[in-house]
Each structure stands twice: as C-alpha cells, then as structure tokens.
C-alpha cells in the first residue's frame, strides 16, 4: 500500500516531537503533570462533567496521575481505556491507582489500565468530556496521536452514536503547532490543554 504524503509528514512530525519529549527531565514531567491538573480542574468541561473518559499517561506524556486522583475525589465518574487485541478500546471505571494493572496487549509499552468490569467499547459515548492523548494539535483542532488508530476508532464511535462530548487533547505547550497533516477520518478536538493554559477551537 502506497504511503501518502500526509502519512509521511505525520511520521516525521511524530519523530521530532517524540525526541523532544524523550529529552524531558523527570522533574519537568512531574511539574507539568501538577500544572496540567491545576488548569484542567478549572475547565468548565470538567467542572460540569458527571462522567469523563480519560487515560493513564505513559512515558514522557503530559502526566494524568494528579488529574485522575482529583477527578475521583470530586466524585466524577472516570472511565479509562482497556486496549484490546485488535487495537480498539474497551472501557472500565477508574477505582484508584492501586487498581491499575499492566495492559495485556500493550506490547513493549508499559501501559496501565483498570482491572475492574469491562463496560464495552461504546461506553465512551457516556462521557460528557473525553480527554485525549496526543503528540500535537494545530490551530484548527486537528490532533495527531501516536499512530495506532485506537482513538480514531473511539472518536468514530462517538460520531456514529450522535454523542457530542467536549473533546480535549492534553499536550505540552510546544506541541500546539501551526499545522498537523490531516486526513478525512480525523475528528477535530474542541480544546488543547497544556501545563501553561488552554487553546480553544471553533466547534
């Protein structure tokens, strides 16, 4: 199968941004996670949400640990993804970091996921707000993920169901870029949250 120009550009952008993340020091990552949580908790999309679909950050991603704890303490129902063998996402409720286990289908990545009852791939449609991982977001709200396609499926499921939650990508400040190569299946996010602030895009 021929590789499109868009795919080639995405691959190069992923490589460059991943290299910058890899160079971050542990204390920089920890400080960014605390700042991200503080800013996130002030967002109307989270302040007014009863159910939030989120994720457990891995590696040098903007950390979600403090935010997950704070949402649960607020009484928000938090759904976390469970990676399936075909790279699709099931969902289960976050019951605390002590109830997270290593994902069975994550390959070389040490991915943590909830150990509780599986709710089915369609559970993402219950969310008032969906927090999305990403490597970059541009000024149009086009998000670039890691390339596995898991969240593309979840976002397609939202569109097919008619659900319309707020879509918020969590990235570092330098990862809000001028342009991300997009493809017809890409669904744009409504906001990008960084440790420094929030960027909103037209819905």
Task: Please check the confidence at residue 1 and state whether its pLDDT lies above 50.
Answer: no
d(CA 177, CA 102): 32
Phi, psi angle pair for 196, to nearest 5°: -95, -20
Copy the structure tokens of residue 26: 């542990």
The response to whether 50 counts as a known ligand-binding position is: no
pLDDT tens column, 110-145:
789 999 999 999 999 999 999 999 999 999 999 998
The response to whether 56 counts as a known ligand-binding position is: yes
d(CA 43, CA 52): 13
Average pLDDT in the chain:
91
Q: Comparing 15-19, 109-113, 188-192, which segment has the lowest mean pLDDT? A: 109-113
Q: Which domain does 176 fall in, by range?
A: 5-200
Task: Please check the confidence at residue 45 and state whether its pLDDT lies above 70.
Answer: yes
The response to whether 69 counts as a known ligand-binding position is: no
d(CA 182, CA 189): 13
The response to whether 65 counts as a known ligand-binding position is: no
This prediction has a pTM of: 0.93
The response to whether 148 counts as a known ligand-binding position is: yes
d(CA 199, CA 148): 25
Angle at 59 between CA 54 and CA 60, to 5 degrees: 90
Model pLDDT, residue 185: 76
What integer is the mean pLDDT of 92-101? 94
d(CA 189, CA 201): 7
Domain count, the chain: 1
pLDDT band of 69, cuts 50, 70, 90: very high
The response to whether 42 counts as a known ligand-binding position is: no
Within a 10 A sphere around the Cβ of 127, how many other Cβ atoms?
A: 24
pLDDT tens column, 156-172:
999 999 999 999 999 99
pLDDT band of 70, cuts 50, 70, 90: very high
d(CA 120, CA 88): 11
Model pLDDT, residue 46: 94
Percent of the chain with pLDDT over 90: 75
CATH code (residue 26): 3.40.50.10420
Within a 10 A sphere around the Cβ of 105, how many other Cβ atoms?
A: 12
The response to whether 149 counts as a known ligand-binding position is: yes
The response to whether 14 counts as a known ligand-binding position is: yes
The enclosing H or E element of 19 equals helix 5-22
pLDDT band of 101, cuts 50, 70, 90: very high
Residues 6+ apart with CB under 8 A from 180: 10, 13, 136, 137, 138, 142, 143, 144
* The CA-based dihedral angle spanning residues 203, 187, 3, 57, taken in that order and rounded to the nearest 10 degrees: 110
The response to whether 143 counts as a known ligand-binding position is: yes
Task: Please check the confidence at residue 190 and state whether its pLDDT lies above 90.
Answer: yes
């Amino acid at each position: 199968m021929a590789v499109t120009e868009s795919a080639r550009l995405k691959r190069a952008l992923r490589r460059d941004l991943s290299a910058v993340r890899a160079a971050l020091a542990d204390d920089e990552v920890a400080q960014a996670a605390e700042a991200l949580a503080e800013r996130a908790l002030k967002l109307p999309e989270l302040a007014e949400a009863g159910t939030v679909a989120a994720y457990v950050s891995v590696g040098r991603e903007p950390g979600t640990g403090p935010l997950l704890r704070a949402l649960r303490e607020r009484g928000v129902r938090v759904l976390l993804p469970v990676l399936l063998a075909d790279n699709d996402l099931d969902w289960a409720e976050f019951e605390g970091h002590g109830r997270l286990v290593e994902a069975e289908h994550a390959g070389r990545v040490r991915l943590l996921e909830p150990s509780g009852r599986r709710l089915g791939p369609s559970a993402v449609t219950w969310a008032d707000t969906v927090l999305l991982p990403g490597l970059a977001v541009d000024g149009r709200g086009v998000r670039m993920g890691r390339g596995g396609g898991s969240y593309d499926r979840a976002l397609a499921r939202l569109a097919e169901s008619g659900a319309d939650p707020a879509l918020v990508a969590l990235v570092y400040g330098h990862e809000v870029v001028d342009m991300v190569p997009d493809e017809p299946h890409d669904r744009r996010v409504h906001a990008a949250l960084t440790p420094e602030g929030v960027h909103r895009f037209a819905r």
